[in-house]
Structure 1
Amino acid sequence: MKNVFRMPTPVKIVGRTSSITNAFINGIIPVIEPSDEEINEALKTLGMTRETICCAYCGDSYTEWDHFHPLIKNKKHTGYISEIHNLVPACGKCNQSKGNRDWEEWINSDARLSPKTRGINDLEQRIERLHLYEKKYKPRLINVEEIVGFELWEQHKSNYEKLIALMKECQETSDIIKQMIYKATKEE
């Protein structure tokens, strides 16, 4: 008999810490809108046009623009920002699979849904174009602490740490409440 039922995955408050990390970093990073000319030039470097735009990593239909160099690594800002020189068109599979890894390490890895794993036949050509893109466009690196000052940056980091600690405390309370409710429903 085919199994058609599956319980929903229980939600954990602490399971959302990566969303909080992303919000704390992405919330302060500038988003520099590119001109039409900059978009066209970036696409040309990747061997595309507006009509032929596709995922730079695998060639599938693009759904978004991926941060070529991640904004966050090890729960810290890498120094990169959101600008055309740090973005390439990507499909959802590649963007999710790549995550915050270095593009070249990931594209040649055995990671689930990586272009290598999916057997993309023109992978070497794509890698060459991405090398050219990386050489031609140097994304800006910023030092947030240098720009905003030590105290304000430390306050932002402290706020983040307090929120994560509060989430852990909330999880403990939530677990107690959940057990009490579970026990009450079993007694009925």
Structure 2
Amino acid sequence: MNITTRTSSITNAFINSIIPVITPSINDIREALAILALEPESLLCAYCGDPSTEWDHLRAIVKDKRPTGYISEIRNLVPACGKCNQSKGNKEWSIWIVGDAPQAPKQRGIQDLEARMQRLHKYEEWGDVKPLNLEELIGEDLWEQHWKHWDTILRHMNEAQSTAVEVRQRVLDRLSSKSTDD
């Protein structure tokens, strides 16, 4: 276990903490589900048709360790199963869905894939979501301050990892010398 293996979790926390969540109206949800040909009573994954367990950002909110400008709102969210959501990650849905990623719908042999893709394209048109320029909206100073905190935490994590390696080695050395003393 390395402390630095958790840097992506820290990055996601820094991004998710600034991304607004806009609560949809019941009518917005109904309209969204109608476009996707889904029933609210038995919500299915928009990508593959398995039972939905979560909502996926159709357009990724994180890429290359920075926010994309897309936010959490109904026009950027679709019901998804865990397999699809995890497999898709931050990839472009229209490339991923027919790609060779493990658990991608094409790889799993989903039969009505073309119809699903047509509904997702229609959904994108309905949403017509444009990314926000977050830095411009909040101002350069506050934006830089936020990312300076992120950088400081990652730097401290790297320093902590170096210390952890040294601590582990000393413990191993003590254990080795103790066993040879016995």
Q: Match for 1:105 among 83, 89, 95?
A: 95
Deviations 1:38-88 (A, max 9, x none): 111100000012123200011001000000000000001100000000000
Deviations 1:83-132 (A, max 9, x none): 00000000001101111111111111100111111111111111111011
Shift of 1:140: 4.4
Deviates more, 1:92-101 or 1:131-140: 131-140
How many residues matched? 178
User: 5+ residue gaps in structure 2?
Assistant: none
SS in 2 for 1:51: helix
Instruction: Answer 1 or 2: which has greater helix percent.
Output: 2
Shift of 1:179: 1.6
Q: Which residue of 1 aligns with 2:166?
A: 176
- Two-structure CA RMSD over aligned residues (Å): 1.1
1:166 aligns with 2:153: no
Structure 1 ranges of 4+ moved more than 6 A: none
Please give the alpha-carbon distance, in whole angstroms, between the structure 2 residues aligned to 1:89 and 1:160.
31
Q: Which residue of 1 aligns with 2:72?
A: 82
TM-score by length of 2: 0.94
SS in 2 for 1:65: strand
Shift of 1:178: 1.2
Shift of 1:171: 0.6
Q: Which residue of 2 aligns with 1:3?
A: none
Counterpart contact for 1:81–1:140, Cα < 8 Å: no
Please give the alpha-carbon distance, in whole angstroms, between the structure 2 residues aligned to 1:95 and 1:79.
19
Counterpart contact for 1:70–1:100, Cα < 8 Å: yes
Shift of 1:148: 1.1
Shift of 1:180: 1.6
Please give the alpha-carbon distance, in whole angstroms, between the structure 1 residues aligned to 2:109 and 2:68.
30
What percent identity do the matched residue pairs reach?
A: 52
List aligned pairs for 1:63-142, cutoff 5 A.
63-142=53-132
Q: Which residue of 2 aligns with 1:16?
A: 6
